[in-house]
Structure 1
Amino acid sequence: MPDSTSKPNSHPEEKILANYFEELPGIVWRIDVVSNEITFLNKHAASPEGERIRAVLQNPQIPQEVIVPEDREQFRYSHQLIRSRRRTACSFRVRTETGRIKWYKLMGMPDPAHPRCSLGILLNISDHAETIMKATGSPQLSDKIDMVDQPVLLVRFMDRTVHLANQAARQLLSYDDNTLSRLTLQDLLRDNPDTDLYQVYEGLIFSDHWNGDLLVTDALGRSHLCAARIQAISRQEDNLLWITLSHHNNCTACKGVPVRGNETVAPRFSGASMRRCASVKTLLKTLLRALPEKSPTNALLLSRIFIDENVVSVTGVGTPFDKDPEDFAHPYEGSIAESILRFNQPNHVVAETSKSIKAIDWALFIPRGIRSYFAQPFYTDSGLTYVLIFCSTEPDSYDPDSEAPLKGLHQEFIANLERCLAKKR
């Protein structure tokens, strides 16, 4: 049975929304990506096997048992995006206990009312799919990729040219159909380092799939940072790469267009004041005062990294973090530190948090009104140890191509930070 969800009488709009969910021809769900819990928001059963279909979202073993082998990888990738609070949509086929094939569509998005949740619907689209197949026989690849809401490209494995692109991909890349058909994968991925592309090809050679972040260049030369999933497929004797993209950032941030120079140390600030600090919070407050007048930075955040424990320990200063305790914990998975290490970034800049897909942005920054930030990593002999984050309540406050804010104080800051931490041990 689906979970029961309370609908307070004091909020009539919630009653309206609950009634709307009950009328939808699909299973409406909410997943808390932090506590890994799913709640079903309506009583709809997509088929007489409703319990079994709902279990596809709950039990990792069920998709391996009921989803046809050709669609399992696409479902798994879409489910990963849901757990990362990203927008996604995919279609897949399920074999029922009687041996019949049914089509389903899974759609998900970040829940705007719950910063740690994804919200979505699971629809039975068998009638729609069967109508297409009766009209045209087995669905063509062009029909199949157009059922996906995210940008999809099919690239010929032999010469790496674009074979097909769905409407979402054509809109993202802004190429006309004739130009798109002449493009190669190298054209689209030209802004990525050769070492990154080597890892992509290595992944495809050894496991037939690869996923990670890539820069995809459009017709205007703008680089779009996208989460990419590349899967090798074979269709009617054609060997193809199925590439699904999920857009990360706005084009300004992706392209690296300077927004403004990052702040240097205020002329009247003395580094000696840091040597008088006795605690981490006092040190961070002193560093915050080192910023020049009219600085867009409203707060500082120090993240201490404990990868083996899957934890980052966070201490913040400035109005957005005034009510937060010192050393409050967040999972390392989905953190800024994880992004920095995974993609070997010298720093990590977010120009507009409302467009972010990182779990920690929705759990930590967005609820406190942080619109943009610049994160600077620091390494010791044991690896990534600290991340210092300059936070602003205004978007586009930091230039990703400039040196980190207050770079001239970083060395002295770290020395005094370790002194303050040693007192706590």
Structure 2
Amino acid sequence: MIQINDLATYDHVTRRDLSREDLHSLVENFPALLWRIEIIRSRIEYLNRYMVAGLTDKTPLFLKSAEIRKKVVFQEDAILLDSFMEAMKRGKNAQTIVRIHCTGQATAWLKLVGWMPPKDVRYYMGYLMDVTDRIEVLKGMIEREAEMQLMIELSDMPVVLVDLDTKMVLSQNAAALQLFMYSADEFRSLRISDLFHHGMASVIHSLYEEILFARKWRGKALFERKAKSVFSAEASVLSLLFKDRRILRIALSNIETASSVDSPAALSPAAETQKDLRAQRENDLFNALEGQSELPAILETLFHCQLPSISFDAILFSDIHAKRNRVFVYSCGEPFASMAQGEMYSYEGTIAQDIERFKLDSLIVDDTIDSIKSIDWALFIPKGIRSYFAKPFYQRGVLKAVMILCSLRPNAFNSDDMDEYAILFEPFRRAIQAWRTAHQARRVSRHA
């Protein structure tokens, strides 16, 4: 036991700074791959030489190459990894666990953790750890739905799994039990609507709609404990496929006691009002495009439909002909005023190629100056475009068009604002189809 007169000495020992050699040894022998990203330069740096058993010499490429990740990560875990990479891109604290395929049909479990140091915002820090051994221990402790339970047990956040077809709770972690104050047995009899506050019916409906198309949903909502006390939280919902079963993984963060400001009476009508306004804007755009089949008029109409809280300086339409290695670009907006309509570019190195390669629902480039895509340096940077949002459109499974909103400012677009961008999606798709139909009819008429 330490005597009182030894406390000064003890305090000095425990607070001793590590030497450079000690720190180097600690980092080098840390049982995970430590890394940091220099945000301004979008450059990743590895701080030690740890190798994940399932990746071996490909370990350093796991965070660099989307192709490597696509090859090794389980398909049903890809959305978890995508969410982590998106959080990393935005400088948000995040963590996730995914499975990867190893040689000999073995499976390895990897844990990814990332955070923004509060005193040095130049870097985003993180580590990649092989937690397979820990998973194997947990597997032996869990009797039912072992792998499904492991999706949530290692999370520090409250997480609940729900069967998407029956809407019944399947499982939950210890943090969720503590938050909602139900027992494990009581949780098994709950439906997803029992977790949300009764005033959130429209939010749940919106969640289901977005899950069908985007496989994920994120938003603030009100929830209710067993004792009927209400709290608000940011809900991150992912749609997963587990043994042919569709599952919703609901993770909660930023949990706060609900105040009068966050009451259903204040939140729900506001959400409905925003939804109504978006629907009205979309309907107005349909009406404005009615009967139009010429591209200049179509793009001008779309350009003048500036979104409620997001302004853009130009809009582009990329007409994609991948098999012919051609992309024809049409534009509206001052930055592209001097560019000829229908200017042709090679498909190689374009936004469309990236979207196809990585199977993206959309693409946001925060700053073209940091880009390594050839199209950014050939088309956007010379026109002063610093950021853009791109949305692909398919016809019978083939990428045929990309709509691109451009800004002269960096970081002008955010994935959280997808509801606003969506106002343009269906009007754009229908208008471009009308143009193609009219264009084809003119060609037939000329050859008749």
The interval holding the TM-score normalised by the smaller chain is: 0.5 to 0.7
Question: Which has the larger share of helix?
Answer: 2
Correspondent of 2:230 among 222, 235, 238: 222
Paired AA for residue 108 in structure 1: G
Distance in 2 of aligned mates of 1:87 and 1:170: 23
Instruction: Give the superposed CA RMSD.
Output: 3.8
Contact conserved, 2:235 with 2:250, CA < 8 A, in 1?
A: no
Report SS of the residue matched to 2:52.
coil
Asked if residue 22 in structure 1 is aligned to residue 23 in structure 2, the reply is no
1-side partners of 2:260 and 2:83: how far apart?
Answer: 23
CA contact under 8 A between 1:175 and 1:218: conserved in structure 2? no
Counterpart of 2:177?
Answer: 170
What is the correspondence of 1:369-380 to structure 2 with a 5 Å cutoff? none
TM-score of the pair, normalised by structure 1: 0.52
Question: Is 1:331 matched up with 2:338?
Answer: no
Q: Contact between 1:88 and 1:107, CA under 8 Å: does it hold in 2?
A: yes
1:76 Cα deviation after fit: 1.8
Q: CA–CA distance in 1 between the matches of 2:184 and 2:131?
A: 29
Q: Does 1:65 align with 2:145?
A: no
Which amino acid is the alignment partner of residue 156 of structure 2? D
Report the 3-state secondary structure (helix = DSSP H, G, I; strand = E; otherwise coil) of the residue aligned with 1:154. Answer: strand
- Aligned: 1:210 with 2:210: no
Q: 2:36·2:46 contact (CA, 8 Å) conserved in 1?
A: yes
Partners of 1:46 and 1:211 in 2: CA distance? 31
Contact 2:80/2:96, CA 8 A, preserved across alignment: yes
Residue 183 (str. 1) matches residue 190 (str. 2): yes
- 1:161 is aligned, of 150, 157, 168, to 168
1:225 Cα deviation from its structure 2 partner = 2.8
Structure 2 Cα separation of the partners of residues 311 and 69 of structure 1: 27
1:15-39 Cα offsets, whole Å, 9 max, x none, are 4655432231010112345543222
Unaligned 5+ runs, structure 1: 1-11, 258-303, 313-327, 345-425
Q: What displacement does 1:104 show?
A: 1.5
Q: Greater RCO between the two (CA within 8 Å, min separation 6)? A: 1
Who is 2:249 aligned against?
A: 242
Structure 2, unaligned runs of 5 or more: 1-16, 264-308, 315-364, 368-407, 421-448
CA contact (8 A) 1:29 1:120 kept: yes
Aligned pair partner of 1:149 in 156, 161, 165: 156
In the alignment, is residue 77 of structure 1 matched against residue 78 of structure 2?
no
1:252 shift after superposition: 5.8
Mean Cα deviation higher: 213-222 or 120-129: 213-222
Shift of 1:330: 5.6
8 Å Cα contact 2:159/2:176 also seen in 1: yes
Which residue does the alignment assign to 2:320? Answer: none
- 1:343 is displaced (CA, Å) by 6.7
Instruction: After TM superposition, give the deviation of residue 44 of structure 1 in Å.
Output: 1.9
Q: Percent identity?
A: 19
Report SS of the residue matched to 1:24: coil
What amino acid maps onto 1:156 in structure 2? D
Deviation, structure 1 residue 145: 2.0
Give 1:229-268 correspondences, 5 Å limit.
229-235=237-243, 238-245=245-252, 247-248=253-254, 250-251=256-257, 256=262
Q: Tell me, in whole angstroms, the C-alpha distance in 1 between the residues paired with 2:29 and 2:195.
A: 43
The answer to whether the Cα contact below 8 Å between 1:87 and 1:108 also exists between their aligned partners in 2 is: yes
1:129 corresponding residue in structure 2: 135
Q: What letter corresponds to residue 240 of structure 1 in structure 2? A: I
Q: Could you tell me which of 202, 207, 213 is aligned with 1:200? A: 207
Paired with 1:83 and 1:253, the residues of 2 have a C-alpha distance of: 32
Contact 1:224 / 1:254 at 8 angstroms: preserved in 2? Answer: no
Cα deviation for residue 191 of structure 1 reads 6.4
| CA distance, structure 2, for counterparts of residue 40 and residue 254 of structure 1 | 47
Q: Which structure is larger by alpha-carbon Rg, 1 or 2?
A: 2
Q: Distance in 2 between matches of 1:14 and 1:107?
A: 26
Residues 330-386 of structure 1 show CA distances to partners (whole Å, capped at 9, x for unaligned) of: 62245xxx75x5578xxxxxxxxxxxxxxxxxxxxxxxxxxxxxxxxxxxxxxxxxx
The one of 100, 110, 114 equivalent to 1:104 is: 110
1:248 is paired with a residue whose SS is strand
Cα distance in structure 2, aligned partners of 1:136 and 1:248: 29
Matched residue count:
266
Say if 1:231 and 1:33 are closer, same or farther in 2 by CA, change over 3 A.
farther
Q: Quote how far apart the aligned CAs of 1:187 are.
A: 2.9
Deviation at 1:146, TM superposition (A): 0.6
Residue from 122, 139, 146 that aligns with 1:139: 146
Contact 1:222 1:251 in 2 (8 A): yes
SS state of the match for residue 62, structure 2? helix
Q: What displacement does 1:60 show?
A: 1.7
Contact 2:113 2:128 in 1 (8 A): yes
Aligned: 1:40 with 2:46: yes
Q: Which amino acid is the alignment partner of residue 127 of structure 1?
A: D
Change over 3 Å in CA distance of 1:256–1:121 after alignment to 2: same
How far residue 140 of structure 1 moved from its aligned partner, in angstroms, is 4.3
Deviation, structure 1 residue 329: 6.3
Name the aligned partner's letter for residue 66 of structure 2.
P
**Deviation of the 1:53 alpha carbon:** 2.2
TM-score normalised by length of structure 2: 0.50
In structure 2, do the counterparts of structure 1 residues 150 and 17 end up closer, same or farther at CA, with 3 Å as the change threshold?
farther
User: How has the CA–CA distance of structure 1 residues 234 and 212 changed in structure 2, closer, same or farther, with 3 Å as cutoff?
Assistant: same
Matched AA of 1:223: F
Aligned pairs for 1:300-379 (under 5 A) are 306-308=311-313, 331-333=411-413, 341=417
